Amino acid sequence: MLEVTELRGGYGDLVVLHDLSLSVGKGEIVALLGPNGHGKSTLLKAISGVHPATGGSILLDGEQLRGLPAHEIVERGIAYISEERDLFTEMTVFENLVLGAYGPRGRPHLDRNLQRAYELFPRLADRRSQRCATLSGGEARMVAIARGLMSGAEVLLVDEPSIGLSPALKRTVYEAIRHINDDLGITVLLVEQELEYALDLAARVYVLKHGRVLFERSAAEIESTEVREAYF
């Protein structure tokens, strides 16, 4: 479904992605592992067009995405949920969710997707008229994920959804992602630092190092020792 080939990118003179290639099948959950600063977040930003890649190709069902602006990529059905969340903090939860359906892809299904978001995270229904600046870290994370789904995406790119959350909230977030994948049929590409959570969710794992794929394994085959080695 999503085919990334020899992707190059970085920030100014700093090259972060060196000919990185990977693929994600329809309906899969794939996790990206690897040390910080080795290209995981940069890869998601490149796919979503938020920080465009400088070379290589990104195909979604055979259609080239590289070079398209971010809003066009949202229209093609890819939603990116950044680690920083990037919420509109002075707006309410409801307004944030409505903006998630801003484009022509999401707008016709606004009511249905709003309903779906509140079912996914019932707590957001209670908080719908609250300003996002006043939410807890966990709730803000829920808004970010729910807002991403409002566009009617078929592929969700999630950057460290559980970072900084308590174990209970981590579980809530992971159950939501599993539900998004199982019941809504949405493909997920996920950056996760914690191996345990990554293996629990994902069918396949890519380990990145120095902006390249170090290796790829199915979750069943992977040895925690080889992942640990990648970090040193």
Partner 1 sequence: MATVVSGLTLGSLYAAMAVGLTIVYGVSHVFNFAHGHVAVLGAYVAWLVLGTGLGFGAGIVAGSAAAVAVMVVFGWGLYRLAIRRLLTRDGWQFATLLFTLGLAILMQYLLLQAFGPRVKSIPTFTDGSVLLWFGRVGIHQLIVLLLSVALIAAVGLFLQRTATGQAMRAVSLSVPGARIVGINVERIFAYTFAFAFAVTGLSGILLGSTVFMTPHIGWEWMIKGFIIITFGGLGRIQGAVVAAFFLGLVEAFVTLYAGSLWIWPAWLSLFVIALMVRPQGIMAGRAA
**Residues interacting with partner 1, by CB under 8 A?**
48-50, 69-71, 74-75, 79-82, 84, 86-91, 95, 98-100, 102-103, 105-107, 131, 147-148, 150-151
Nearer to partner 1, 78 or 198 (CB): 78
What number of other Cβ atoms are within 10 A of residue 166's Cβ?
Answer: 12
Nearest distance, CB of residue 63 and partner 1, angstroms = 17
Return the number of other C-beta atoms located less than 10 Å from residue 15's C-beta: 15
- Residue nearer to partner 1 on the CB measure, 38 or 147: 147
Which C-beta is closer to partner 1: that of 50 or that of 195?
50
Quick one: 120 or 199, whose CB is closer to partner 1? 120
Pick the closer one to partner 1 by CB: 18 or 51. Answer: 51
Measured between alpha carbons, how far is 120 from 97 in angstroms, rounded to an integer? 13
Distance, in Å, from the CA atom of 215 to the CA atom of 126, rounded to the nearest integer, reads 43
Per the listing, tokens 């493909």 go with: 187
The distance from CA 59 to its chain's CA centroid, rounded to whole angstroms, is 17
Q: Tell me how far, at minimum, the Cβ of 21 lies from partner 1, in Å.
A: 24
Q: Shortest gap between Cβ of 209 and partner 1 (angstroms)?
A: 27
Instruction: Please identify, using beta-carbon distances, which residue of 112 and 228 lies nearer to partner 1.
Output: 112
> What is the closest distance, in whole angstroms, from the C-beta atom of residue 197 to partner 1 in the complex?
23
The contacts of residue 182 (CB under 8 Å, 6+ apart) are none
Closest Cα to residue 76, out of 59, 52, 90, 93? 59
Least Å from the CB of residue 84 to partner 1 = 7
Among candidates 86, 62, 89, which has minimal Cα distance to 76? Answer: 62
CB of 75 to partner 1, least distance (A): 6
What letter would DSSP give residue 92?
B
* Cα 202 from chain centre: 13
